[in-house]
Amino acid sequence: MSAPEKYPGSRRPLLVKKFGGTSVADIERIRKVARLALESQREGNDVVVVVSAMSGETNRLLGLAHQVLPLPDARELDVIAATGEQVSTALTALAIQAQGGQACSFLGHQLPLRTDSAFTRARILQVEQERIREVLACGQIAVVAGFQGVDSNDNITTLGRGGSDITAVALAAALGADVCEIYTDVEGIYTADPRVCPSGRKLKSISYEEMLELASLGAKVLQVRSVEIAMKYEVPVHVRGTFTEEEGTWLVSRETAFEARVLAGLACEHNQARVELSGLEHHPERMAELMELLAELNTSVDLLRHRQEGTQVSISFTLPEGELLRAKPSLERLVDDLGASAIQVSTGLTKVSLVGIGVRSDPWIAARVCRSLARHRIPVSDLAVNELRISGLVEGSRADEALRILHEAFELARAEASVTRPTNAEGAW
């Protein structure tokens, strides 16, 4: 018999299955994860499992670090945070073994999964697949620690909150996996959060672009960068519930979307702050400086608006309230450097967004958003429309109500939501 190839070209389908913190929250749930992995393997698949830290563990660990130092060194913070996934990964491998399977755990530095050196929010540069291929070829299940990697000096890095999604999708891309299954505590992607909007409907599929918008705009199910990677490498992603057998939601390219619909769903980002600088001198140089300063903030600045009144200019934008403190020195610099006459900050706002590939092509959508909210006397400001979404700011206290109104107005609970001109029943526009 001739020596086997190093990686015998397996014809078995390859699944990457990612389980979040609530799915591995205790030993009983970890056993369930092991069962799901073994079932997939028995059905004839090669299986790679990616796990997050046990629910609450990352916060406990970061709490320890913050007890020592309010602003801990990011390198050491990552050393501490990475232990959460280290434990859950090995426990999951043990649980698979306990059920008669074979499994081997891998940490970021063992693959290695290489990242840049931006501690606490590192970006993946390269994923080595050799060791995973080796254990798969031996009939084992590879259990990979999510969230963590190493930079070129073997310093431990982490990928930021939700980083295990990124690990899973990046692994699936590197391995050319047939599916990347993201198991969560919800059953898929919904037209609106069902806890707020009971008529929220689970989507069968959603395009990468729409998911990217929803994730950016507050949908917590998938991490934004994981969607970017999925889109770039066209990884088939299946978002599904850990505690159900049912199909979840597939992320697919726009062309292969299963459903004929123009709107995907609604998302909310709470606790937004709106900043307005007025009385700025109108000068291209000044605007460039302003954009540079906002870039330096490196925060989720959105709904940037620029309004000219005579020779003066005013600028407004939103950012998460939690980042106001960090942004404050830069904002004060803005006022001084740019000679703004006033800076006005409003907080307690919610950004409500309607996402779908049909938003740009139908000008009636923006009109209907305004009309529906006006009918219920919910003021909306800073409305912005781009190719895939329409967003506006409402008072935080009325956000849930606004969500339900828009869900109803756009008939998102119907399997094939579409937008048409108003019918008589809805009254005149």
Binding residues for ATP: 18-21, 184-185, 190, 195, 220-221
Under a CB-based contact definition with an 8 Å cutoff, are residues 48 and 136 in contact? yes
139 binds a second copy (CB under 8 A): no
What is the rounded distance in angstroms from the CA atom of residue 231 to the CA atom of residue 388?
15
Per DSSP, the residues of 297-319 read HTS--EEEEEEEETTEEEEEEEE
Q: Which member of 89, 184, 272, 353 binds a second copy (CB under 8 A)?
A: 89
93 binds a second copy (CB under 8 A): yes
Interacting span for a second copy (CB under 8 A) from 102-110, 120-128, 283-291, 316-324 = 102-110
Under a CB-based contact definition with an 8 Å cutoff, are residues 15 and 177 in contact? yes
For a second copy, the closer of residues 62 and 335 by Cβ is 62
155 binds a second copy (CB under 8 A): yes
82 binds a second copy (CB under 8 A): yes
Q: In the numeric block, which tokens belong to residue 417? A: 């939501």
75 binds a second copy (CB under 8 A): yes
Tracing tokens 């409305």 back to the chain, one arrives at: 383
Q: How far is the CB of 194 from a second copy (least distance, A)?
A: 33
Q: Where are the alpha helices (DSSP H) in 304-398?
A: 324-338, 364-375
Phi and psi, residue 227, nearest 5°: -70, -40
Q: How far is the CB of 108 from a second copy (least distance, A)?
A: 11
Q: Which member of 56, 59, 98, 126 binds a second copy (CB under 8 A)?
A: 98
Q: What single-letter amino acid sits at 90? A: A
Q: Which member of 2, 67, 311, 420 binds a second copy (CB under 8 A)?
A: 67
115 binds a second copy (CB under 8 A): no
**How many other β-carbons are positioned within 10 Å of the β-carbon of residue 428?**
5
What is the rounded distance in angstroms from the CA atom of residue 170 to the CA atom of residue 332?
40
Q: How far is the CB of 59 from a second copy (least distance, A)?
A: 14
120 binds a second copy (CB under 8 A): no
36 binds a second copy (CB under 8 A): no
Relative to beta strand 124-127, strand 113-115 is antiparallel
What is the rounded distance in angstroms from the CA atom of residue 206 to the CA atom of residue 263?
10
Residues engaged in binding a second copy (CB under 8 A): 27, 30-31, 61, 64-65, 67-69, 72-73, 75-77, 79-80, 82-83, 86-87, 89-91, 93-95, 97-98, 104-105, 107, 109-110, 154-156
